[in-house]
Structure 1
């Protein structure tokens, strides 16, 4: 929905004012005062994020995943390769960059499956999900302060990781679901 279409929606909330609260390396936080459809005002706490990419990387009949510690959850978890967009960066290029940085593989074939919001109740982050196939070995180049391991898992391992909670984040749960759907239909549909 375009911004002009959004302003026509009967539940549109017009921003009256916006107050920056915090600006960090990855996110910023602002509090907006909005005019509600009934004419009253309310506040909305909004996390601003530059957006991210995530990659379903298929190595024959296995999917590449990484395991890393996530401080916000205070635990390690298994996820598909992903990372934030740099200012002005093309999402497809970012997907290829993140794939190689985290797994050491390059994709000869990469295509966009879909984009989705992560937490629209309070954040503007959008993740662009890509499918990477026909992989060739490259070089792992982790970011500073990034520690992870990579493995190629079977669909059965993915199911086990879901059941145990080792796979817990939405983008990876979606990736496994799309992979399972592909097994049933023969197509990657998002």
Structure 2
């Protein structure tokens, strides 16, 4: 899918919501020292918002991969904010819905090869629309839960947290997994 976004990248040397550290690792079996660059991330939450048989997803441009992706509503935790509160906030901000029930699903490391960021995945049910202004450049999309595995398999969904959350809920809905 091509888009009309244009991205210009500049190295960031100021404060951000994450930091990059150079770490040095040794092991008793070898004198060699390994140097790694590690991103320290505050973590975030993503939410599988189930409305009947549909999951509320969002389409948004991601500059890092220069593409518009279909994803679960998600975002980073604000300082002192519990992951379930982050999930509820992001659901409201990105879709205009509030959940009557939010259930923890799973915690995942996003990219442990270079980042300590963790995503807390939740299931939202009993959805109700709320007053909402929407986020700029973001579109809400209703994905039938039964279609999610095919969309993952054919590459229409490529975001890891979304793949994990959608397949987990789809498998539970079809009795493949048990609590």
TM-score, length-scaled by structure 1: 0.79
Contact 1:22-1:30 within 8 A present in 2 as well: no
**2:21 — aligned with what?**
30
Q: Deviations over 1:25-71 (max 9, x none)?
A: 23211101222232522211101111010000000111010001111
The 5-angstrom pairing of residues 15-54 of structure 1 reads: 22-40=13-31, 41-54=33-46
Q: Deviations over 1:130-176 (max 9, x none)?
A: 11000000133445xx4200022113443453244221011111122
Out of 84-93 and 148-157, give the one that drifted further: 148-157
TM-score, length-scaled by structure 2: 0.84
Secondary structure of 1:26's counterpart equals coil
**1:79 — aligned with what?**
71
**2:143 — aligned with what?**
153
Give the unaligned 5+ runs of structure 1: 1-20
1:166 paired to 2:156: yes
Structure with more relative contact order (C-alpha pairs < 8 Å, separation 6 or more): 2
Counting matched residue pairs gives 167
Secondary structure of 2:57's counterpart equals strand
Q: Deviations over 1:74-95 (max 9, x none)?
A: 1101000000111111111111
Q: How far apart are 1:108 and its partner, in Å?
A: 0.6
